[in-house]
Amino acid sequence: MAQTQLNHVQMGPEEGELVVFIHGFAGDLTGWGNLQVGLSSSIRSIAFDLPGHGGSLDYPESCNAMVAAKAIMADLEALGEQRVHLVGHSLGGATASLIAFKKPELVASLTLLAPGGFGPEINHNLLRHYSKAKDVDQIHILLEQFFGWEFEVPKALAEQVAKYRENPGALDAVQATAEAIIDGNVQKCLPTAQFADFSFPVKVIWGTQDRVLPTRQSHKLPGVIATHVFERVGHMPHIEIPREVLALIRQNVATGS
């Protein structure tokens, strides 16, 4: 078996359907922990740290969706995986989409949470400010913008981010990622009409209080795409409403199996 490039964590049975979790900008694989545990009794899963994130900080290229997609496809090939269920959030959603476009035979189902690339609008000011923040209080204030207005963001999360950014190269890497995914003051768009051509099930999950990527980017998707929009939820549905997200992932796995 070839060696993998990205840090990753596997959970669940040794065999059977595989769910692949792909996190978003400035995140890491720990954000999927609850969902991986929730699946672990019956479904195996793997969560990757994207290039320049978490335990993949030393990856030689700055991260964008294409770089991440190539890295994950290479690692899945190294692991001998031939058919997987992709779950991607934000930048990870754009990454999962690119994998589906480039290698559809690899994909059994696609679940996208507030995915990048579905429209030009992106809160570029928030992402750029967040990518430069080092102070715990500043990080905490900015983190709140990623969640719904009623969600209480724990201070410990900001402390964890600040601690990580003390690592050599960590702050430079997240800033490079921000600039790689923002094109001026907008983001590049995926050919979303082509989602209708996929033979596997596709679900899109969004929150009405998303302040990073507007919910309206989900409104003009092909009619065959299952779109789930949740009230009073921000840009982080897998953390804000994990039970609902887990149920939808299970539905897609069952349909795509």
Q: In whole angstroms, give the CA distance from residue 135 to residue 157.
A: 13
Identify the pLDDT of residue 99: 98
Residue 101 has pLDDT above 70, yes or no: yes
Identify the pLDDT of residue 202: 98
Identify the pLDDT of residue 82: 96
Report pLDDT digits (tens) over 201-251: 999 999 999 999 999 999 999 999 999 999 999 999 999 999 999 999 999
Predicted structure pTM score: 0.98
- How many separate helices (H) and strands (E) can be counted in the chain? 9, 7
If you average pLDDT over every residue of the chain, what do you get? 97
CB atoms within 10 A of CB 135: 11
SS3 226: strand
Report pLDDT digits (tens) over 21-70: 999 999 999 999 999 999 999 999 999 999 999 999 999 999 999 999 99
Residue 10 has pLDDT above 70, yes or no: yes
Average the pLDDT over 84-97 and give the result.
98
Q: In whole angstroms, give the CA distance from residue 105 to residue 71.
A: 17
Report pLDDT digits (tens) over 13-31: 999 999 999 999 999 999 9
Identify the pLDDT of residue 1: 54
Q: What structural domains and CATH numbers belong to the chain? A: 8-122+188-256 (3.40.50.1820)
Average the pLDDT over 4-11 and give the result.
97
Strands 8-11 and 226-230: unpaired
